[in-house]
A and B are shown apart, each in its own frame.
Chain A
Amino acid sequence: MSSSYLRFWGVRGSYAAPHASHLAVGGNTSCVEVRADNHLLICDGGTGIIPLGEHLVRAAEMPETLVVFTHYHWDHICGLPFFQPAFLPDWKIKFFGPGESAQEIERQLSNQMKAPYFPVETETWMAATSYIEPKPEGITHGPFVVGFHNVHHPGVTYGYRIEIAGKSIVYISDNEIDFLKSSIAQRTEEFSSDEHHLIAKMQLDERAAELAAIRNADILIHDAQYTPQDYAQKRGWGHSCYVDTVNFAIDARVKVLYLFHHDPTYDDTRVLAIHRDCEQLIRERGSSMQCIVAREGMIVEF
């Protein structure tokens, strides 16, 4: 195997779905391992971080990592209390996520381990843990250069752009694309022609900023949670319809799109049907972008 790869440990959105009908895709919630030159970066601490932690301890190598969190909704942090390396004295673990300070990041992550929610607090961690002070220019970890930006999801939520080995990997687990577009459509009669003109420009400004964050990514891992039918019922829940995800990625000239944060009510058959539909959309647009379903256990060399 190449020394640079990523591995999906959790691909499910919202809550774990360990049902037999879902296991070809996977039941654990968000967690992606990124490795390069013997350095380790982990994106999110959903239930997928539990088997990753077990794997790292078994492998007994490289006891150091950076864990970045997109946000602090349960499906992205609930595996952390069971992350074995945190309880081992030879490990060094740095954490980063939304927050105005390192102290706030620590508070957000440790609160879920306080009574009555968990039997032991983060004080029982024996690893050398630290929390990274936010800087607008982003953070570095070994060879990884990690930028972050705000995305469209309830609460302050980050997307990450990871520059590594000459490649750009963008991880946006939760993001509702085109929310403004549908807000405009719902309220179109309220506006004068002058306002319509400005609102159209405002929409273009917002779209341009969103595209800039993912433009020319070699790998985009992105929320594709809903079918169009379900999105019509769940607009405003903070997740994307896969049609919008595919169009967004094509517009940004992404090379490979990984459909991620699969809805926990969708079984393997339904996710495969979504993938077929995405491939059809890509063909219809004449794009050469690859589209792949992120599955638990999948390894992608880069």
Chain B
Amino acid sequence: MPEHTPTIVVIDDSPAVRVFFEKVASTLQVDLRTYGSAIAALEYLEAAQPSLLFLDIIMPEKDGLTFLQELRRTPLHHETKTVMVSSKDYAQDRATARELGALEFLPKPMTIRALTDLIVKYTAAQPRPPSN
């Protein structure tokens, strides 16, 4: 992979959502890392800043909005580009996400196209060249 390959981190407890992202990653030059909970992603996020972070809201152990609030307190993630992806599409949650600096709020169900467009928009990821 090229040196500037964007890293995409996805935190969502739904295995099907993670498959959605794998389909997107199969068409883009990105390094995709998926986690089933905020706690599971913590070790990676304590050490690295992804190019773009996708966060679900309703998850076991810790919800995505509370987790983003915690991340924002750390210098490493003060400005980490973040997109919320959730079925919990309420005005109050959208407002909280905005206050926490989330760039977008994508309601579930989402399309592969919408996820692809967001990754390209915020990371300038290039299409993956067709394999022979």
Contact residues in B for A152 (Cβ distance below 8 Å) = 58, 87-88
Contact residues in B for A100 (Cβ distance below 8 Å) = 66, 69-70
- Contact yes or no, A238 B90, CB < 8 A: yes
Does chain A have a CB within 8 A of B27? no
Does chain B have a CB within 8 A of A63? no
The residues of B with any CB-CB pair to A shorter than 8 Å are: 13-17, 19-20, 23, 39, 57-63, 65-66, 69-70, 87-93, 96, 107-109, 111-112
| Given contact pairs A187-B109, A202-B14, A206-B58, a sample of 19 additional A-B residue pairs in the complex whose CB atoms are under 8 Å apart | A98-B63, A150-B57, A151-B58, A153-B90, A155-B92, A180-B87, A183-B87, A183-B107, A184-B109, A192-B112, A195-B112, A198-B20, A201-B14, A202-B16, A202-B108, A202-B109, A205-B14, A206-B14, A236-B89
**Contact-residue bracket for chain A:** 20 to 34
- Contact yes or no, B15 A205, CB < 8 A: yes
Does chain B have a CB within 8 A of A149? yes
Contact residues in A for B112 (Cβ distance below 8 Å) = 192, 194-195
Contact residues in A for B59 (Cβ distance below 8 Å) = 150
The residues of A with any CB-CB pair to B shorter than 8 Å are: 98-100, 136, 149-156, 179-180, 183-184, 187, 190-192, 194-195, 198-199, 201-202, 204-206, 209, 236, 238
Most buried by B among A150, A206, A238: A150
Name B62's closest neighbour in chain A (CB-CB): A136
A-B contact pairs, 9 of them (CB 8 A): A150-B57, A151-B58, A154-B91, A183-B87, A194-B23, A204-B16, A205-B14, A205-B15, A209-B14
Contact residues in B for A202 (Cβ distance below 8 Å) = 14, 16-17, 20, 108-109
